[in-house]
Chain A
C-alpha cells in the first residue's frame, strides 16, 4: 500500500499539477528501490487505463473487425497515412506537376489548426431553441428529449439518459469555415463539412433512423438491420444498414455525389434506384438528368475528414468553390477560360490559403490577389 503522501505526488504528477520540490521527492522515491519504480509504473498504468475506460465508449469492435477482415481480403490500402506515399507514385505516372509541389512543402503553417475549422456551430433543439457549440476550449452539457448532449470544440455526442417518450428532432448547422462531428445515441458518427446542415432524430425509437442533409457529410453508421439508416437530401435518398460513406449535396453545386467506402447503400432519386458497392461513387445531375456510377478511390472523398483536401481532376471553378467554403472567402475569375482548367492534387486543410493558391498557380501560371475576403484570379 502506498503512503498517502506518495499517492498525492503521483496524482499531482499525472494531473500535471506537480511542483518542483514534489517532483524531486517523487524522483528520489522512485530511484530509491526497484519496487518503488514498479509501483510508480503500475500507478501510471492504472491511471491511463481508467482514462481509457472513460473515453473509449465509442469504439465499435464489430465494425473494426469487419474493416480488418475486409482489408485483408481485398488487399487494399485505403488509409490516409499511406496515401501520401501511394499517391506520389500514382501522380508520377500521370505527370501532374501539382503533386510534386505539395510533396515539397515541408513547412507547417504558422496558423495553428485551432484557428481554422473552429467556427461556432449552431444546434437547434426540439423546442426550437438555438444553442451555440464549438469554438476553442468550449464544453457544454445539455439535455433534450431525455438525452444528454455533451459537446466540445470538435464534436457533439448524444447519450440516452432516461426512458424516452416522444420522438424529437435536433438540427446542427455548420457555417462556412467550420466543420463538426456528431455522434448519435446508437454510436453512429457523422462529420459535417463547411456550410452544411443536418436534421436528425434525437433518439431512435421509431422504425427507421432518418436524417436530412444539406451540404456534405461523411457517415459512419452503426449496423442495425432492424432500423435502416436513411439520409435524405434534396435530390436523393440513401438507404443504409451499417456502413461508411460520404454524401455531397450542396444546393449551390450542380451535382449530388454519394461515395461508398464500406458496407452497402442504396440510392434513390428522381427516376433511379441504384445499389452501390464499396469503392463506387454515384453522381446525379438533376439539371441534365445524367446519372453515373463510377469506380473511384473512395478514400480521396473523405480526405476532408482527415484534415486534407484532395482534388481529383477538378475544375478550378469547383476547386475555388470548395476552398471558399472552408476558408469562408468569395472568389472571382477575371479570365473566364481559367474556370474550366482541371487540377489534381492534395493539400493540408490547415495550411494558409495563400500557399495553396501558390501551388495551384504554378501549374497554370495564374496570378491571384486576396483583398477583403475575396480572391481575384487572373492569368499571369
Chain B
C-alpha cells in the first residue's frame, strides 16, 4: 500500500467524511471505468460505484482496514458488485468479459486518478492520426482491417500508429509524497477529453 493510501486510511479513521472524499478523488473515476468495462452499462456503473462509496461510509468498512492493498480492495468490491449485477441479468456474453486477463483486479488496481490525468495529457499530445487509431481500435473495438478502411491507410500503418501511441511504457509510477487534498467543489476536476 503506498503512502497516499496509508494517508487516506488514517484520515478516514480520524475524520471520516474528509477521508472518504480523498478516497473518492483518487479512485472514483477509475472505479467507474472498471465497472463500465465489466457491465457495459454507463449509468448503472456509476450507480454501483456510488452505492459502494455510500456503504463504505455508512458501514465504516475502512475504519479497521488491515489488508495490505486499499486499491485491490476497492476494485475487488466493484468487481463483486458487477458480478451480482451480471448474474441478475444473466446474459452469457457478460460472463466472458470477466475471464479476460486485462480485466483482472491485479491489472486495474494500479490505476488511480493521477495516472488517468497523466495519460490524458499524453493522449492530447498525440498526433490526430494516432488518436484516431486509438479511438477506432481501443474505444470502438474495430478490427485492424476495419480501422484501416475507415482511415484510408494500410493495416500495417494501423499497427505502427498503435505502437507509437503506446510506446512509453512506464515502470512503476512514483507519486509525489505531498499529494494535496483537492477542494470540495473544484471545477474541472476531471478534464474533458478532446478527440
Residues of chain A whose beta carbon lies under 8 Å from any beta carbon of chain B? 1-2, 4, 7-8, 11, 14-17, 39, 41-62, 64-65, 67-68, 71-72, 75, 77, 79-82, 84, 106, 108, 113, 139, 148, 159, 220, 305-307
Contact partner, A59, options B47, B185, B190, Cβ 8 Å: B190
Interface size on B, residues (CB 8 A): 71
One of B2-10, B53-61, B62-70 at the interface = B53-61
* Inter-chain contacts of B143 with A (CB < 8 A): 17
Q: Please state if B137 and A71 are interface contacts (CB–CB under 8 Å).
A: no
Q: Please state if B102 and A47 are interface contacts (CB–CB under 8 Å).
A: yes
Q: Please state if A57 and B193 are interface contacts (CB–CB under 8 Å).
A: yes
Write 21 A-B pairs (CB below 8 A) sorted by A numbering.
A2-B169, A41-B107, A42-B110, A44-B102, A46-B119, A47-B102, A49-B30, A53-B119, A53-B123, A54-B193, A55-B193, A57-B192, A64-B50, A65-B28, A67-B50, A68-B53, A68-B54, A81-B48, A81-B85, A81-B88, A306-B43
Q: Knowing A46-B169, A49-B111, A53-B116 touch, does A59 contact B29 (C-beta < 8 A)?
A: yes
In the complex, whether B175 has a CB less than 8 A from a CB of chain A is no
B169 to chain A minimum Cβ distance, whole angstroms, is 6
In the complex, whether B166 has a CB less than 8 A from a CB of chain A is yes
* Inter-chain contacts of A60 with B (CB < 8 A): 190
Inter-chain contact total with CB atoms closer than 8 Å: 166
* Inter-chain contacts of A159 with B (CB < 8 A): 192, 194-195
* Inter-chain contacts of B108 with A (CB < 8 A): 45, 48
A153 to chain B minimum Cβ distance, whole angstroms, is 11
In B97-139, the 8 Å CB interface with A consists of 101-102, 106-108, 110-111, 115-116, 119-120, 123, 134-135, 137-139
Q: Please state if B192 and A48 are interface contacts (CB–CB under 8 Å).
A: no
Q: Please state if B47 and A7 are interface contacts (CB–CB under 8 Å).
A: no
Q: Knowing A45-B107, A79-B47, A81-B44 touch, does A54 contact B169 (C-beta < 8 A)?
A: no
Q: Knowing A45-B110, A81-B51 touch, does A53 contact B120 (C-beta < 8 A)?
A: yes
For B51, give the chain A residue with the smallest CB separation. A79
Q: Please state if A139 and B140 are interface contacts (CB–CB under 8 Å).
A: yes
Q: Please state if B193 and A53 are interface contacts (CB–CB under 8 Å).
A: yes
B102 to chain A minimum Cβ distance, whole angstroms, is 4
Residues of chain B whose beta carbon lies under 8 Å from any beta carbon of chain A? 20-21, 24-25, 28-30, 32-33, 36-37, 41-44, 46-51, 53-54, 57-58, 81, 84-85, 88-91, 101-102, 106-108, 110-111, 115-116, 119-120, 123, 134-135, 137-141, 143-144, 159, 162-163, 165-167, 169-172, 184-185, 189-190, 192-195
* Inter-chain contacts of B21 with A (CB < 8 A): 65
* Inter-chain contacts of A81 with B (CB < 8 A): 44, 47-48, 51, 81, 84-85, 88
* Inter-chain contacts of A4 with B (CB < 8 A): 163
Q: Give Cα A108–Cα B43 distance, bound, in whole angstroms.
A: 22
In the A-B complex, the 6 residue pairs with the closest CB atoms: A57-B193, A52-B33, A71-B54, A44-B102, A108-B90, A53-B120
Q: Knowing A1-B169, A49-B111, A305-B43 touch, does A8 contact B163 (C-beta < 8 A)?
A: yes
* Inter-chain contacts of B171 with A (CB < 8 A): 42
Q: Please state if B44 and A108 are interface contacts (CB–CB under 8 Å).
A: no
* Inter-chain contacts of B51 with A (CB < 8 A): 71, 77, 79, 81-82
